[in-house]
A and B are shown apart, each in its own frame.
Chain A
């Protein structure tokens, strides 16, 4: 067996564990920059998984998608985040509304729930249960980050984590969607982030802070 085969097998068998690790670290991270780095690592793990799947299933398309993830999610988006943090001159704290202990407890519960949720579907769909559970856990973590972190930037990051989960779900169940659609989805994410970046500047300029939990004027 060649080295590449061995690497492929290792990646496919262990990437879920690493993803769970990033989830647990993400929910306790206190600085925005740490969270962004963790997101970058998480995307790199998913990119590795894409390459491994592409190699095993002999899908040329997968290499394109993997390269896109590497360029966009591992490099470009984190860089954009760092420059946003720099230009917004905001504090580096994530403004968590849960303590780290609570966060870890919630994250662990979500991982458990993810396994419970995919258990019934795993057999009928013939996909590795771990991978699907990791995808669902990522979706839940993204949603959790969005509701529990008050910084606008962290909400954007939560959205990205959620999107990573959906992408992983698509990858593990169907080896991804047709390439054109995949590229369109990436394009949407990029534009969406650009717009959110514009809005973070506007929020800071009109409200003098980035704490979206204090945006409470419109109600009822």
Chain B
């Protein structure tokens, strides 16, 4: 029953919050619902940690892997909701573009993402993954400007087509499972698929074909190059809290789906084929995004391409496999989420205060907005993978994985791209922060809802960089145990 709680809270919350026309009341209600939501998620994670996997009916199930991603959802959505409570203060009451609509759509979006993690059935997983696109498309187009409408349309079309391929992949896997003698009713259930995977290995062609379609389909949502075209537009044009949710939670959810398929296919047809595909997509995404980071002019597009790059890093970790690669990949999903939310929150403040995100129009921020600049510096240093921040740990784990498995080509590309990205971020941020102040900000101080979440994110980056808390590493181990 406990598994239904977060779903019910999110769904009822989405409709409940629509009832509050007063923006202030709607915000308070949203914070309350968010609090309940996070509590229920934490309870689930705790129960899984104590007692092992939970299952409700045929379709809902939580194991170590899903509970690891639930922590990610809970943590980031908490930060985002608090940040949004201050961010939305300038938005008036318009049709579909008022705070209450914003929160209602956010809760629907959360509902679909939590459902993705709770699905015990790969068909349901697909339905909910398509649901994430549908729930967030209106959020991407929330501002209703030319850019937002274009980004929203592109997001809807590209992701729907992409995910249609994932449906085809799901069907092919289903076919392979039925052919291997599985009961058609259970042939999409994750547990029975994992059990039956070795039997499907007698005819590996279908399983491999399924994985190709799935990685292209869900890879579109992850933002793998060359299916990434929607990602920078959607991230740049969406309201900032949504950019953070897209980058820090949605991409991870899609990655979660790929992890599930990767585990099944590795078991059925051997790990070489899926892992090679993951490595190819990972290296491509890393290199292309790393180069595009150099030429960006919009701060949020810069962050978006950095997300593509980091998804590439995670894919490389998965593709390497083994304890080090897998550990690094899982840890990196969380670390990247925290760092990227911090950066997006800072970018949101920049937009609020200067009215633009064009980096060539902003300079001397360090003097006019010291607090936001500090957050940008912390986030920037973390995202390029410098110690003592947490992304260093996970990137180092993946890199050592590459060396221990003698993937020297991957390791070299990895290191070169990281230095290119470092150069890009240093160049852009130095121009933003130093020099003569070009504009005066609306207010140089942060409000509590901003500095509290940014402080928590920065603190988390440093703590996880110096020493991973024991409980957290246990949870990562439990997630890894599911994939073996």
Contacts and interface: CB of A to CB of B under 8 A. Distances in A.
Nearest to A212: B153
A218 B147 contact: yes
Contacts of B156: 192, 195-196, 199
A184 B149 contact: no
B174 A177 contact: yes
Given A166-B167, A184-B127, A199-B141, A192 B178 contact: no
Given A174-B171, A180-B124, A218-B232, 12 more contacts: A124-B205, A143-B161, A159-B157, A166-B164, A174-B178, A177-B123, A178-B123, A181-B121, A185-B127, A196-B156, A199-B149, A206-B145
6 contacts: A125-B206, A169-B171, A178-B184, A184-B123, A192-B160, A195-B134
A181 B144 contact: no
Contacts of B151: 218
Contacts of A139: 168
Interface in B117-167: 121, 123-124, 126-127, 130-131, 133-134, 137-138, 141, 144-147, 149-154, 156-157, 160-161, 164, 167
A218 to B, nearest CB: 4
B173 to A, nearest CB: 10
A28 interface: no
B164 A152 contact: no
Nearest to B145: A206
Interface in B401-448: none
B362 to A, nearest CB: 18
Nearest to B167: A166
B450 interface: no
B330 interface: no
A60 interface: no
Interface residue range, chain A: 35 or more
B250 to A, nearest CB: 16
A215 B188 contact: no
A143 to B, nearest CB: 7
A95 interface: no
Interface residues of B, number: 52
At the interface, is chain A mostly helix, strand, loop or mixed?
Answer: helix
A207 B104 CA distance: 27
Nearest to A170: B171
Contacts of B138: 195, 198
A162 B59 CA distance: 27
B149 A207 contact: yes
Interface in B171-190: 171-172, 174-175, 178-179, 184-185, 188
A181 B153 contact: no
A214 to B, nearest CB: 10
A2 interface: no
B309 interface: no
Contacts of B145: 206
Interface in A157-186: 159, 162-163, 166, 169-170, 173-174, 177-178, 180-181, 184-185
Contacts of B471: none
Nearest to B298: A220
A217 interface: yes
B171 A177 contact: yes
A139 B167 CA distance: 12
Contacts of A5: none
A119 interface: no
Interface of B: 59, 121, 123-124, 126-127, 130-131, 133-134, 137-138, 141, 144-147, 149-154, 156-157, 160-161, 164, 167-168, 171-172, 174-175, 178-179, 184-185, 188, 203, 205-206, 209, 232-233, 236-237, 292, 295-297, 301
B200 to A, nearest CB: 13
A162 B161 contact: yes
Counting chain B CB atoms within 10 Å of each CB, the highest count among A124, A185, A192 belongs to A192
B160 A159 contact: yes
Contact of B153 (A169, A170, A174, A203): A203
A121 to B, nearest CB: 8
Contacts of B178: 174
A218 B236 contact: yes
Given A199-B137, A218-B147, A188 B130 contact: yes
Counting chain A CB atoms within 10 Å of each CB, the highest count among B131, B146, B149 belongs to B149
A10 interface: no
A163 B150 CA distance: 23
Contact of A163 (B149, B164, B232): B164
Contacts of B206: 121, 124-125
A188 B164 contact: no
Given A169-B171, A184-B124, A195-B156, A177 B188 contact: yes
A58 B157 CA distance: 37
Contacts of A159: 157, 160-161, 164
Contact of A166 (B133, B147, B171, B209): B171
B185 A178 contact: yes
Given A191-B134, A202-B141, A124 B160 contact: no
A155 B156 CA distance: 11
B57 to A, nearest CB: 11
B161 A146 contact: yes
